[in-house]
Structure 1
């Protein structure tokens, strides 16, 4: 009974170990992804810092590095917590195996002592022949066979448990070495984080010397973004108007056909309720079965849409933000990425608008009642009316303030959405 409990405990510990191993793999993948983003941020920072003039791209690259470094330290801490748990579980497993081994050896020693004590009392043949009848003799033969087999089985259990114990001690030793490595890695990242913060201080000091020029650059950039946003809103408004007009025409056509049918059958003409109009812009955009299906599919993928760039990190977040003490609104997010990075459609759809502004291209794709907007491309490979598929390349990322950047927006009808809640982590 005691052995059964020990076996059940060991099985449970093994299942826990598998769960932790899976979680550790996920954390390791996340840490590796963060390291790639940190390296990309450093590359962009070096590129931005090569110019004498301070740029918003340089400030954003430093901020991104600090944030990514903090995320990496947090991930390392999570890895260490997992590892501490594994060390605790593996230590318990070692102790249980030692206890199980001691019980097995004790039981086996008892059997050996019993056999030794009774070896000279009678031999096996006499024990069998002393039986009262054939049935009892047969049972005694089976008993002797089973006793011998049980001894062999106990010896095998002992050897197996010793091997398990040896293996588990190796695993525990690896756990302890891994924790030591993680502690060194964490300390290394903290040192680099301090360096990043020192760089940020230097940049902010530099900012105070170039404040006037920096303010002018920021003001110009905000004006340009406002102009682009107006064009995007106008393009969305045109799509809504066109969808509403089409829906109204289809409604009128249905009324006309119903009236003609009633006349042909000598029935009263159906009462028309003026033209049936969609109640909202969203209804107009999803008024056809195809558009409704596409809208539903887009919405079903909330939180799992691919990033518009394969490599990159967000430096500008959705909503209100402060630049040089002034508050502004951002209708999407800004990615810093690698130079000439391929820009990808995040979902199936149709290219609604392609326009050029300030030497850069802007692409809007319609997905039923949803729109995705890709800003600041240096080149495009699609045209208005083209059908695109998920992850299809639509152009290449441009540069802003000396670093490769891509602006990305999602709208439901005319309402801007936070892209971070739609994209896969």
Structure 2
């Protein structure tokens, strides 16, 4: 029974270790990704810092670095908590295994002493013949035969427990070293974070000297975003109206064909179809089998769509946010920072519905059945209206703002005329 409990403890340790390893691996992957993004931002910041004139780009990069570094510190905190839990469990396991090993050794010592006292053949025979009856003698004989086997098995249990104890002690030492390294890294990140927050205060102070110019830049950006949003909404409404007219024309063509066939067969023309209820936007956009299939395929890839750029950091997500000037803004999509001149790609198969020029930059709208995706702030295009598009196909390159130095693409997703949160549709970046 004691041996069975020891095996349960060992199995439980392996299960707990597996769960910990999975969680720890996920946290480590996230920490490595944050480190990579921070290194990239640091490289960009060094380039902007070489310019004596403080720019909005410097401030934006500092803000992004601060946010990522704070997230990395929180990530390290989670890793340390995991390690603390694992170290505590490992300590308990080591104590339990040590107690179990001590008991096994004690039991084994008793068996060795018994075997020593009864090692001669004479003593064994006397033990058997001293039985009260034949049945007891038989049981004593079987006991002597099984005793040796049991002693060997107990020796095996001792060796196995010693080995497991050694493994757990090594794991415990490894976890303690890893925790120490994480705490060192965390302290380094905190120091860097403090320095960057001081840099942010300095940059804001320098930029405040040009407050009027900055506010005008912000107003220009908001004006451009508002116009882009209106253009997208207008383009989608036009697409819906065009689909409605096409369906009506198909219905009229079918009626004409039926009338012509009846006339050719010298039959009475069929009665004109009764006026049906007004169809929904979804029914209009999915009127053809091809459109319905594309909508279903798009919906089936919810949460797995690729990002519109291969490498990028999310600046503003879907919904309302407040910018550095304290202005509230409504964002209908994802604003993503990427590299200068980076290619922008379609997130799914579809057809280019519209290409719109907004103050010298382009917005491409792609139709996916009843769904639409929009890619704004493009410098150049590689597609045109009516062109069939495949997933991850390049549709243009991102525009870089000469004043801020930021290369950002705004990605929006609509179901009919309703904007939806891209977070629910895009894969983890």
- Taking structure 2 as the reference length, the TM-score comes to 0.89
Aligned to 2:152: 152
Tell me the residue number matched to 2:327.
326
SS in 2 for 1:304: coil
> For 1:120-167, what per-residue CA distance to the aligned partner results, in whole angstroms no more than 9, with x for missing partners?
582556767999999999876654342212211211211121111111
Maintained 8 Å contact 2:363/2:377: yes
2-structure distance, mates of 1:144, 1:309: 77
Offset, 1:265: 8.7
- Whether the aligned pair in 1 keeps the contact of 2:55 and 2:207 (CA below 8 Å) is no
Displacement after TM superposition at 1:202 (Å): 1.1
1:160-199 alignment to 2 at 5 Å? Answer: 160-199=160-199
Q: Post-superposition shift, 1:404?
A: 2.2
Residues 138 and 344 of structure 1: is their aligned pair in 2 closer, same or farther, counting only changes over 3 Å? Answer: farther
In 2, the alpha carbon distance for the partners of 1:128 and 1:322 equals: 92
CA displacement 1:258-299 (0-9 Å, x = unmatched): 55667759578345223x575233332222222222222323
Aligned residues: 424
Q: Which residue of 1 aligns with 2:288?
A: 288
CA contact (8 A) 1:40 1:312 kept: no
> What's 1:238 paired with?
238
SS at match of 2:114: helix
CA–CA distance in structure 2, aligned partners of residues 277 and 44 of structure 1: 58
Whole-angstrom distance in 1 between the partners of 2:268 and 2:146: 97
User: How far apart in 2 are the matches of 1:252 and 1:102?
Assistant: 92
Deviation at 1:30, TM superposition (A): 0.9
The answer on whether the counterparts of 2:303 and 2:425 sit within 8 Å (CA) in structure 1 is: yes
Range moving further from structure 2, 330-339 or 39-48: 39-48
DSSP-derived class of the 1:378 partner: strand
Contact 1:259 1:269 in 2 (8 A): yes
Alignment deviations for residues 71-97 of structure 1 (CA, whole Å, 9 cap, x no partner): 111111111111111112211211121
What is the match of residue 337 of structure 1?
338
Asked whether the 8 Å contact 1:47–1:403 carries over to 2, the reply is no
Q: Which residues of structure 1 form unaligned runs of 5+?
A: none
Indicate the SS of the match to 1:350: strand
Cα distance in structure 2, aligned partners of 1:243 and 1:13? 62
Aligned residue for 2:353? 352
For residues 19 and 377 of structure 1, the distance between their equivalents in structure 2, rounded to whole angstroms, comes to 45
Aligned to 1:9: 9
The CA deviation at 1:27 is 0.8
Alignment-derived partner of residue 375 in structure 1: 376
Alpha-carbon distance between aligned partners in 2 of 1:283 and 1:46, rounded to the nearest angstrom = 53
Match of 2:386 in 1: 385
Counterpart-to-counterpart distance in 1, 2:295 and 2:56: 36
From the superposition, tell whether residues 237 and 156 of structure 1 become closer, same or farther in structure 2 (CA, over 3 Å). same
Question: Quick check: 1:20–1:82 contact (8 Å CA) kept in 2?
Answer: yes
Residue 243 of structure 1: SS of its match in structure 2? Answer: helix
Equivalent residue of 1:403, what SS? coil
Q: Which residue of 1 aligns with 2:421?
A: 418
Q: Describe the SS at the equivalent of 1:411.
A: strand
Q: Aligned to 1:122, what secondary structure does the other structure show?
A: helix
Q: Distance in 2 between matches of 1:330 and 1:242?
A: 27
Is 1:402 aligned to 2:402, yes or no? no
Most deviating of 137-146 and 320-329: 137-146
Whether the 8 Å contact between 1:54 and 1:210 is mirrored in structure 2 is no
- Matched position secondary structure for 1:402: coil
| Root mean square deviation, CA, Å | 2.9
Q: Give CA-to-partner distance per residue, 1:191-240, whole Å, 9 cap, x none.
A: 11112211211121112201011112222222233333333223222211
Relative contact order (C-alpha < 8 Å, sep 6+): which is higher?
1
User: 1 CA distance for matches of 2:207 and 2:76?
Assistant: 33
Q: Distance in 1 between matches of 2:269 and 2:386?
A: 43
In the superposition, the TM-score normalised over structure 1's length comes to: 0.89
